């Protein structure tokens, strides 16, 4: 099984990536980067990352979330985060990134926020 | 609680990070460390081994990453040794400073310091860096 499985679905003009597994140095981080780059190439610039089933993330994975955020912003798009685990929320808090990302606990609220 | 020491010598590859983390998780579990502390130790070990593989040994498979685990009644101590040129930890910028928050890298040492009670580096004159991390019970 891949370290990180990413399932893509469309909710209106928002692309939701349901992620399950680990976003760590190597395969997991690369999978996230590739998925976001591909969406940008396809002109899909409103992206919601559902992280509820991400069991583990390291500094490389957090760096990849930041890179995704800046790459999408550069294209005048929006990246938002959904369903952070407590541990990921703690990591984003200590790195002061929780204030950078737009974070939601409910998918409907997250989708509405893109409008 | 008796003292215990385990030593690992691992190749300089990215998959070594997971191998080391699994060995440390088993060691920590045997040591009776609380779950919260075990999460932090796991995180710190992954970052230390990543640094040793990527920045220290530059993924040169002729160089090893050596991990020593020691458990005592007071603490768990983990040392990660690489064969790289070394660096000055004081030169690593604070990733939480406003100008660095949106940088894609530079948070590994910050996590090691956040989750362990003591972190220090020994740069060996003949080459190689050892990072020693301590988590008190």
* Percent helix / strand / coil, chain B, rounded to 5: 40, 30, 35
CB contact under 8 A, B104 and A66: yes
Predicted confidence band at A1 (pLDDT cuts at 50, 70, 90)?
A: low
Residues of B whose CB is below 8 A from A100: 101-102
CA B47/CA A56 separation, integer angstroms:
13
Q: pLDDT tens digits for B10-36?
A: 999 999 999 999 999 999 999 888 888
Q: Where do the structural domains in chain B lie, given as residue ranges? A: 4-136
- CATH 3.30.750.24 correct for A4-113: yes
- The residue among A60, A71, A85 with the most chain B CBs within 10 A of its CB, best to mutate, is A60
**pLDDT tens-digit map of A19-37:** 999 999 989 999 999 999 9
Q: How far apart are CA B114 and CA B112, in angstroms?
A: 5
Q: ipTM > 0.95?
A: no
CATH of domain B4-136: 3.30.565.10
Edge to edge, what strands does the sheet with A102-104 contain? A4-11, A14-23, A46-57, A78-82, A102-104
Contact flag B14-A25 (C-beta cutoff 8 Å)? yes
């Amino acid at each position: 099984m891949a370290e990180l499985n990413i399932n893509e679905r469309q909710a209106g003009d928002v692309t939701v990536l349901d992620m399950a597994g680990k976003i760590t140095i190597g395969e997991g981080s690369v999978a996230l980067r590739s998925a976001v780059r591909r969406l940008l190439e396809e002109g899909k610039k409103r992206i919601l990352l559902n992280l509820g089933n991400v069991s583990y993330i390291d500094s490389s994975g957090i760096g990849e979330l930041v890179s995704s955020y800046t790459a999408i912003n550069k294209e005048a798009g929006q990246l938002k985060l959904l369903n952070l685990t407590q541990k990921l929320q703690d990591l984003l808090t200590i790195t002061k990134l929780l204030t950078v990302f737009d974070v939601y606990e409910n998918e409907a609220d997250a989708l509405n926020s893109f409008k | 609680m008796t003292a215990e020491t385990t030593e690992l010598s691992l190749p300089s590859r990215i998959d070594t990070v997971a191998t080391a983390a699994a060995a440390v998780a088993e060691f920590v579990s045997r040591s009776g460390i609380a779950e919260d502390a075990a999460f932090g130790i796991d995180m710190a070990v992954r970052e230390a081994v990543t640094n040793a593989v990527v920045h220290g040994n530059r993924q040169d498979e002729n160089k090893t990453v050596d991990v020593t685990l020691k458990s005592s009644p007071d603490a768990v101590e983990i040392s990660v040794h690489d064969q790289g040129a070394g660096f000055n930890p004081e030169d690593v910028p604070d990733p939480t400073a406003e100008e660095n928050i949106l940088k894609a890298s530079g948070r590994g040492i910050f996590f090691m310091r956040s989750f362990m009670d003591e972190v220090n580096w020994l740069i060996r004159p003949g080459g190689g860096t050892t990072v020693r991390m301590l988590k008190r019970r």
